[in-house]
Amino acid sequence: MTGLSDRPAAASGTFAIGGDVPVHRLGFGAMRITGPGAWGEPADRGEALRVLRRVVDLGVTLIDTADSYGPFVSEELIAEALYPYPEGVLIATKGGFTRQGPDRWAPVGRPEYLRQCVEMSLRRLRLERIDLYQLHRIDPQVPLAEQLGVLRDLRDEGKIRHIGLSEVTVDELTAAREHVEIASVQNLYNLTSRKYEDVLRRCEREGIAFIPWFPLAMGRLAEPGGDLAEAAARHGVSPSQLALAWLLHRSPVLLPIPGTSKVAHLEDNMSAATLSLPAEDVAKLTALG
């Protein structure tokens, strides 16, 4: 019999994206399986494929990627490793961010380009429908109604199930919801960076998934002798595990997606889902940030 020790991500609980697509809350972000700066092929393609297959073994049912990771490399690796996809696994992807080199990004939200992004992601991922498609960035040069309008059209055509946003403010989220239903928001959020606390609270009130990218930025807190490192030692876990456990306890709509290119690091991260933190410890960690 397979238990939570074999599939630890299942211990993170579930959240229904869009109200009808349940996933385990601790997911996997697939940016780091590409080359440095999210550019090009991974240094060890075999290890990247092993990571993706191990992700599913560990109980992860939310895998987040984007056409700009590589570009295209992450989506292609996911399909190579996992297609045909196990039942219950949601592959979420994003479009609207172009690449000019390592760590270089520029938004393009023209409707014809976004339509092409969706069509090509469907092809690379070998899907007939993308269950969660996220506008990677709002393009300030294109009316928001046009950017979301084409995604709404693609949803109505059956090529997208739910629509999400990335790196948005409360005002942008409110404006977007005037044009289309929003199932998720993916913003920078972690123990030491909480400028989008107001967005998280809005998502809580509206039942919108909040997917924190860069969930493991811990800075000096994780250094030997740092507050997080000392707290982790008391719990007998790694600082990364404690930081992820804090996110899972912070809000029921938080769906952390830690990424890595190594199986050992992946297994360490997923064990965070089994860590129970008393409310007092959660409060202390919150104060650290």
Nearest CA among 216, 173, 221 for reference residue 198 = 173
Q: What is the mean pLDDT of residues 13-18?
A: 98
Q: Residue 121 and residue 66: Cα distance in Å, rounded?
A: 8
Q: What pLDDT band is residue 218 in, cutting at 50, 70 and 90?
A: low
Q: Residue 161 and residue 129: Cα distance in Å, rounded?
A: 7
**Which structure tokens are listed for 210?**
């909040």
pLDDT tens string 88-105: 999 999 999 999 999 999
pLDDT tens string 99-155: 999 999 999 999 999 999 999 999 999 999 999 999 999 999 999 999 999 999 999
| pLDDT given for residue 288 in this prediction | 83
Please list the residues that pair with 132 across neighbouring strands. Answer: 92, 162
85 is catalytic: no
Query: Which residue type is seen at 3?
Result: G
| pLDDT given for residue 223 in this prediction | 77
Q: What pLDDT band is residue 175 in, cutting at 50, 70 and 90?
A: very high
Which CATH code is given to the segment(s) 8-218+251-259?
3.20.20.100
Q: What is the mean pLDDT of residues 242-249?
A: 96
| pLDDT given for residue 22 in this prediction | 98
Tell whether the model's pLDDT for residue 1 goes beyond 50: no
How is the chain split into domains, by residue range?
Answer: 8-218+251-259
pLDDT tens string 193-214: 999 999 999 999 999 999 999 9
DSSP summary character for residue 71 = T
Tell whether the model's pLDDT for residue 77 goes beyond 90: yes
Angle (CA) 124-56-185 rounded to 5° is 65
Q: Residue 99 and residue 107: Cα distance in Å, rounded?
A: 9
Q: Residue 5 and residue 59: Cα distance in Å, rounded?
A: 10
pLDDT tens string 43-73: 999 999 999 999 999 999 999 999 999 999 9
Secondary structure class of 257 (helix, strand, coil): coil
| pLDDT given for residue 4 in this prediction | 60
Is the CB of residue 144 less than 8 Å from the CB of residue 176? yes
| pLDDT given for residue 166 in this prediction | 98
Catalytic residue among 69, 133, 189, 196: 69
